Amino acid sequence: MINEKLIIDFTIEDIIMRKMKFINSNNIYDKLEFMVYNEGQLLAYNEMLVDGRSMSEDEFLSKYLKIIGKIKKQFENEGTLDKTETERASAYNNAIVSILELINPIYLYDLNESN
């Protein structure tokens, strides 16, 4: 379905909702095989959708940059997460980065809070 909304009226909320819809409805890959990864993405998108309705840009960025920092530390401490938790955390992290990158492309490369 082609949306008649003007691009200027297109929001990050719209993008998050489309990403969630795609995860839930696509037939491109086996959903069972990607179940854990999809769970991680959907969890992140749901949280960002709620926070995006009540937080300023600075609050939103601060919260999600801190979360990514915590996930990075978990990955650095190999052995703290099992394979399933690692896959879910990776998907959660990647979903966050995909949205932060829309706010400022630097977040694809540099996830320091000082930006």
User: How confident is the model over 1-45, as pLDDT tens digits?
Assistant: 567 889 899 899 999 999 999 999 988 888 788 899 999 999 999
The pLDDT assigned to 1 comes to 54
- Nearest 5°: the CA angle 95, 76, 29 is 35
**pTM score over 0.95:** no
Q: Print burial letters for 13-38: b (CB count within 10 Å at least 16), e (below 16).
A: eeebeebbeebeeeeeeeeeebebbb
3 state SS for 80-115? CCCHHHHHHHHHHHHHHHHHHHHHCHHHHCCCCCCC
User: How confident is the model over 17-29, as pLDDT tens digits?
Assistant: 999 999 999 888 8
User: How confident is the model over 65-98, as pLDDT tens digits?
Assistant: 999 999 988 888 876 778 899 999 999 999 999 9
Q: How far is CA 33 from the centre of its chain?
A: 20
Domain boundaries defined on the chain: 38-115
The pLDDT assigned to 114 comes to 45
Residue 63 and residue 111 in contact, taking contact as beta carbons nearer than 8 Å? no
Q: How many CB atoms lie within 10 A of CB 48?
A: 23
